Each structure stands twice: as structure tokens, then as C-alpha cells.
Amino acid sequence: MNISPLEQNSMDICAEEGDKPTVETNTSCGTCFSSDVPFQKKVDKLELTRTYEAQHTQSDIMLVSEFKQLKLEKEAQKNWDLFYKRNSTNFFKDRHWTTREFEELKTCREFENQRLTMLEAGCGVGNCLFPLLEEDHHIFIYACDFSPRAVQFVKQNPCYNPDTCKAFQCDLTKDSLTDNIPADSVDVVTLIFVLSAIHPDKMPLAVENIYKVIKPGGCVLFRDYGFNDHAMLRFKTGNKLGENFYVRQDGTRSYFFTTGEFC
């Protein structure tokens, strides 16, 4: 199968985030454009980004109908659960960067080896949870997700140990976290590519819910998609739900944050 430069580039970018594109491509092709081309040409990523942006501006005007938007919101949990049924534990890469990128995991401790209580909100199948438990032996992690199937995968993981973690199903925008976690008991909350999956109108509900379980002075570590990420630019016409908010082919949605939205 021939690969257009655009598709090939999106595959490269996706692989970095463990986020796969909806287009079917032959990934073994590296940087060649087509098997007919007798030489390999390096793709200029900057040029591709500009092409993406230009195409995106044009195809960005039409919004998904209100009827479909309501259906997507109603079926949000089902769509994430089906996502994990299709992909099981193979989609996202293990996130081995948390202790490196979030130095607060060290600095929030009053003394070395202080046992931290953490909440991994929207934990998926544990790609952040298990590497962290492996690296830091002085931590207890509550882990919750919307998708019952994802939680099941977490509990089936050979590294799941009730002495160091507790996984449970929960809709962050609806189910009180205090049903599973004592109020004011958590030192650190991580939100890794999770808020973006929640409808922007409901994000404050998730934040308020988290606020109930976090200790005074505790911290929230947040990492998510940014405005004009390649993941955003590769959405085609008919995928836009609202300002910076898009739907993938499988019905899961993603918001793209701008700096300042959280200040």
C-alpha cells in the first residue's frame, strides 16, 4: 500500500503518544512516499505541519449535529469501554516519564521515603500506574477509570497488588470519589490525557470531585493535548464538535488545551 507523506507523518507522531491514526497505513515504510519512488526522501516535518494547518483551517468549519453530539455524550462510557475491548492493553505505551517530568513527586515529600497517597484519575489500563509503582516503592495509588473493562485489565495485571493500589470504576463527572477514597487524604492526583476526554462543560465537575479527596496543599499533575498538536490537526472534516473539541471515528472525543486555561 502506498503511503502519502501526510499519513506517514501522522503515524510517526501518533506512535510517539501511543495514539494510532484511524487511517490504515503500512508502517514498515519508514520515510519513503511510495514503493514506486526509486529513492527515499526525508519528510520535512515543518512543511507538513504547515500543510496540515492550512488543510485543517478549511475543513474545520462544519460542526457535528447536535443530535449526534448528545448521543456521543450519552454513549461516552460505552465508547471508551468498546475502545478497550478492541485494543485491550495494547494501545497506549507505558508512561515511564512520570518521575522524570513531574519532579513534584519528589519535592512534595517532607522527608525522603515519605509514603505518598496518590490518585491516578482516568487510569486506563494502567500505563502510568504500573511504571510508577515499579519506580517508587513508597507510594499507594488509587486508580479509577470510566471503563469497567479498563479497570478489569488493571486488576488482572500481574503487578496489581492491593497493598499498593486500589482500582475502581468511576465517572469522574458523576460518581463521588469519596465513595472509594477518604476525603482530604490524597497527596498527589495525576490526570494524564484524561480531562481532554471529558466534555468541556463537565470538566469543572471532575475537578470539583478531585478537590474533595485531595489534602489541603496537595497537588494535581496534569498532562494533556495542546492546541494544534498533530493529533488535532489530522482530524478531517466532520469531526469537529466545538471549540478545540473533536470526535474520533470510534466515538471517543478529545479536547485540545491552550496555555492559560488552567491558570
Ligand X SMILES: C[S@@+](CC[C@H](N)C(=O)[O-])C[C@H]1O[C@@H](n2cnc3c(N)ncnc32)[C@H](O)[C@@H]1O
The piece of 3-11, 25-33, 96-104, 140-148 that touches ligand X (CB under 6 A) is: 140-148
Pick the binder of ligand X from 92, 102, 235, 256 (CB under 6 A): 92
132 binds ligand X per the rule CB under 6 A: no
3: left (phi over 0), alpha (psi -120 to 50) or beta: beta
Q: How far is the CB of 229 from ligand X (least distance, A)?
A: 13
145 binds ligand X per the rule CB under 6 A: yes
188 binds ligand X per the rule CB under 6 A: no
Q: Return phi, psi of residue 23, to 5°.
A: -75, 145
52 binds ligand X per the rule CB under 6 A: no
Amino acid at 197: A
173 binds ligand X per the rule CB under 6 A: yes
Q: Would you call 74 exposed, middle or buried from its count of C-beta atoms within 10 A (0-12, 13-18, 19+)?
A: exposed
5 binds ligand X per the rule CB under 6 A: no
122 binds ligand X per the rule CB under 6 A: yes
Amino acid at 109: R
> Pseudo-torsion of CA 32, 37, 39, 43, nearest 10°?
-40
Pick the binder of ligand X from 177, 194, 207, 210 (CB under 6 A): 194
Strand order in the sheet with 186-192: 165-169, 139-145, 116-121, 186-192, 214-223
Pairing mode, strands 214-223 and 116-121: unpaired
Buried b (16+ CB within 10 A) or exposed e, 249-262: eebebbbbbeeeee
Residue closer to ligand X, measured from CB, 21 or 122: 122
150 binds ligand X per the rule CB under 6 A: yes
Pick the binder of ligand X from 52, 80, 246, 255 (CB under 6 A): 80
The piece of 6-14, 64-72, 164-172, 242-250 that touches ligand X (CB under 6 A) is: 164-172
143 binds ligand X per the rule CB under 6 A: no
Pick the binder of ligand X from 52, 130, 146, 255 (CB under 6 A): 146
Q: What span, in angstroms and rounded, lies between the C-alpha atoms of 253 and 110?
A: 39
Binding residues (CB under 6 A) for ligand X: these are: 80, 92, 95, 122-124, 127-128, 145-147, 150, 170-173, 192-194, 197-198
